[in-house]
Amino acid sequence: MKPSVLFVCVHNAGRSQMAAAWLSHLAGDRVEVRSAGSTPADQVNPAVIEAMREVGIDLSAETPRLLTYDAVEAADICITMGCGDACPIFPGKRYLDWALPDPAGQGITAVRPIRDEIKALVEALIANFIS
């Protein structure tokens, strides 16, 4: 059975979208990937779409989704990025918190280093938890 990873940030318009895209891109079908937000935005941040397009990943069709109890319950690993107490806690789940700057309202120059840091974190996640 392949592991399930849920990435959660406040708006599901930047960090969690980039993390989910990186994990899908780098791990392929070895993992089930989801992302959500405690207060989802109307659309993915355009600077995030542009930054990911620069590395060959298209987020233009993605839409922010609301974090649900069921999504957390279904995940083996839940990775939060600034959503605080909005993410429910279930016994037996692995929780990680990635302290990353919020790309909201930032231009492409500020988003690129966040994108690259997320890639490094996802590579470490794959090395440590995804077989």
78 is catalytic: no
CA distance 49 to 110: 13
Choosing from 5, 6, 8, 9, which is the catalytic residue?
9
Question: Are residues 16 and 36 in contact, defined by beta-carbon separation less than 8 angstroms?
Answer: yes
9 is catalytic: yes
Strands (E) located in the chain: 4-9, 32-37, 77-81, 94-97
Choosing from 5, 44, 83, 118, which is the catalytic residue?
83
Choosing from 23, 44, 78, 87, which is the catalytic residue?
87
Report, as residue numbers or ranges, the catalytic residues: 9, 83, 87
